[in-house]
Amino acid sequence: MRRSEQREHIFKLLFMTQFNTENEMPEQLSIYFEGLGEVSEKDQEAIQQKYDHILEHLEEIDEILNDYSRGWKTTRMNRVDLTALRLAVYEMKMDEDVPVGVAINEAVELAKLFGGEDSGSFVNGVLGKIASGKKDSGEEPKHPHRQTHSAKIIIRSSKKDHRKAPEESAE
């Protein structure tokens, strides 16, 4: 299973936690994994492990989101957007195996796939601020000695460019 597929499953599990109690989640996880069919034990363990790590750091992740998303605290955010942001912040700040740009791009794609019309741009904007280390107020990050990463998101259009190449001159 590709990492992006694993990430989508983690996203769905994180989303489920917003609608189920902590006591209900073990049963919900079992039902979810049974419904997946043929998933290798290795993939299931990787999904479960990352999901568990995100939950362990949820308070810290939400604090980061609240620091950088001025006017949009986590309590006001669309649940799909919040889930994509939580996953991405975990990957950006706590998972050294995932490059910052990949975390941002994957979160934007998940937000576009499962969220509303503006979800992709909202998620991209918040994560861009986090990656640059600059908050809306213009203040520098809390830990200026830490290296920040710049992330550049390239959105490719599915439309083909129908313009013709300029003709060469026959001089």
pLDDT in tens, 130-139: 999 876 544 4
Q: Is residue 139 part of a domain?
A: no
Nearest partner of 30 among 84, 20, 80, 85, judged by Cα: 20
Tell whether 62 is covered by a domain: yes
Task: Check whether 154 has a pLDDT greater than 90.
Answer: no
Q: For residue 115, what pLDDT is reported? A: 95
- Domain-located, residue 171: no
pTM: 0.76
CATH code, domain carrying 120:
1.10.940.10
Q: How far apart are CA 100 and CA 72, in angstroms?
A: 22
Q: Is residue 153 part of a domain?
A: no
- 163: in domain: no
pLDDT tens for 28-87 read 999 999 998 888 999 999 999 999 999 999 999 999 999 998 788 998 999 999 999 999
- pLDDT given at position 136: 55
Q: Is residue 30 part of a domain?
A: yes
Number of domains in the chain: 1
Domain range spanning residue 62? 3-132
Residues 99-142 have pLDDT tens digits of 999 999 999 999 999 999 999 999 999 999 999 987 654 444 44
Residue 162 resides in a domain: no
Q: Quick one: CA dihedral 10, 16, 21, 27, positive or negative?
A: negative
